[in-house]
Amino acid sequence: MKLSRLVSIIVILLDKERVSAQHLATTFEVSTRTIYRDIETINMAGIPVVSTSGVSGGFEIMKNYKLDKNVFSINDITAILTGLSSLSNMVSQDELTNATIKMKSLIPQDKLDEIQFKTEQIHIDLSQWTGYRNLQPYLETIKLALSESKLISFVYIDRHGNKTSRKVEPYQIILKGNHWYVQSYCLKRKEFRLFKLSRISEIKLEKTGFTPRSYQKPMLEFSDILETLQINIKLRVHKSVMDRILDFCMYEQCLPEGDEHFIVALPFVENDYYYNFLLSFGDKCECLEPVHVREKIQQKLANLVDLYKN
């Protein structure tokens, strides 16, 4: 925390003409005595900070150490602040506060209102509407393991519901879509694996460290593969579920049929995920063609009816 605070103080001093000890103490929620010790540390590191006494006194860095305020454009700072705001429910508050303070300290005084207005034009919230599981404690554990090169252990449930105990070397945290993953070398499988955090439980930071091996990046782009697997199917969809359909296709692929329905050309892959997606609409969606997809849905519905009969 001290190192982060020192960096933040340096950034503020590089931008401001003069800052009082009380202002810095209030900003970082520490005592003025702590600020004076921080200033002494910064001086010892070779950055010349001078102090001025009196009503308008305070600390400032010698003029020849000043940064050009035009290093970042208004659009640059707006983009960074927007990105920081999107992480508010995913990273620790201390990290977010310090990063935000550093960026805001680079804003010229006469541009504050303009950048504030632009920043508020975009709001990014990565949490789900309902049923959201707070993964921040898991993210913090993994981040600590990454910084210290420590093993982590957890119980993992695969997509078929099988539960296994894993011990892994973590290498990267990934946000794909609205899901978090950790790319790790699995000591059980002896290979790199991508683990979905929502399927992890009982996570634990181990005392055992590891020597990072040659890192294998995960495959995150499947567009080319999907193009070879996808077919277009023809659906008759009720207007009440069109919002969900439009997550998977363009509006140009949807033709109105009367006042209540649309005929939709939907890109489709013949696997359980896509079939279950269609079945989730109940009687609001009917597959018209091709015949073999329609028959497959009929078979799945028959199996479902048998399940409830028994």
Q: What is the pLDDT of residues 138-174, one digit of tens each?
A: 888 998 999 899 999 999 998 778 899 999 999 988 8
Q: Are residues 154 and 115 in the same domain?
A: no
- From the list 156, 152, 231, the residue with the least C-alpha distance to 184 is 152
For residue 251, pLDDT over 90 is answered with no
Least confident of 60-64, 173-177, 306-310: 60-64
How many CB atoms are closer than 10 A to CB 253? 17
Backbone phi and psi for residue 276, each to the nearest 5 degrees, phi listed first: -65, -30
- Specify whether 80 is located in the same domain as 54: no
Percent of the chain with pLDDT over 70: 74
* 25 vs 2: which has the higher pLDDT: 25
Give a yes or no: residue 131 inside a domain: no
pLDDT of residue 166: 96
Which of 56, 89, 119 corresponds to the end of one domain? 119
- 247's CB contacts (< 8 A; 6+ apart) are none
Cα(278)–Cα(12) distance, rounded to whole angstroms?
55
132 vs 172, more confident: 172
Task: Check whether residue 45 and residue 13 sit in a common domain.
Answer: yes
pLDDT at 225: 65
Look over the chain and give the mean of its residue pLDDT values, rounded to a whole number. 81
Strand partners, 232: 267
Q: Which of 182, 209, 236 is the last residue of a domain?
A: 209
* Predicted confidence band of residue 183 (pLDDT cuts 50, 70, 90): very high
Whether residue 90 is found in the same domain as residue 55: no
Which residue did the predictor score with more confidence, 249 or 72? Answer: 249
Domain CATH for 201: 2.30.30
More confident residue, 30 or 84: 30
- Rounded Cα distance between 79 and 83, Å, is 6
User: Is the pLDDT score of 77 beyond 60?
Assistant: yes
Average pLDDT over residues 221-225: 64
Assigned domain for 261 exists: yes
Closest alpha carbon to 102 in 8, 2, 24, 4: 8
Overall domain count for the chain: 4
- Looking at residue 90, its pLDDT comes to 55
pLDDT band per the 50, 70, 90 thresholds, residue 123: low
The number of angstroms, rounded, from the C-alpha of 111 to the middle of its chain's C-alpha atoms is: 28
Range of the domain at 169: 136-209
282 is a domain residue: yes
Q: Output 116 or 165, whichever has higher pLDDT.
A: 165
The answer to whether residue 129 is domain-embedded is: no
Is the predicted pLDDT of residue 26 greater than 90, yes or no? no
On whether both 179 and 155 belong to a single domain, the answer is: yes
Residues 304 and 243 in one domain: yes
Predicted confidence (pLDDT) at residue 208 exceeds the cutoff of 90: yes
Q: Examine the pLDDT at 107 and tell me if it is beyond 80.
A: no
- In three-state secondary structure terms, 302 is helix
User: What is the structure's pLDDT at 1?
Assistant: 47
Residue 219 belongs to a domain: no
Are both 259 and 277 inside the same structural domain?
Answer: yes
Q: Do 76 and 60 share a domain, yes or no?
A: no
Quote the pLDDT of residue 155. Answer: 94
What pLDDT, on the 0 to 100 scale, is given for residue 51?
A: 84
Residues 51 and 85 in one domain: no
pLDDT band per the 50, 70, 90 thresholds, residue 86: low
Look at residues 146, 140, 139, 138 and name the one whose alpha carbon lies nearest to residue 209. Answer: 146
- Cα separation, 301 vs 310, in Å, equals 14
Same domain, 301 and 238: yes
Assess if residue 214 is contained within a domain. Answer: no
Element (H, E) at 81: helix 74-86
Per-residue confidence (pLDDT) for residue 217, from 0 to 100: 78
Within-domain flag for 216: no
pLDDT (tens digit, 9 = 90+) per residue, 271-300?
888 999 999 999 999 999 999 999 999 999
Strand partners, 254: 264
Q: How far apart are the first and last CA of the chain?
A: 61
In the chain, at which residue ranges do the beta strands (DSSP E only) sit? 49-52, 58-61, 150-157, 163-176, 179-186, 191-196, 200-209, 231-238, 254-257, 261-268, 285-289
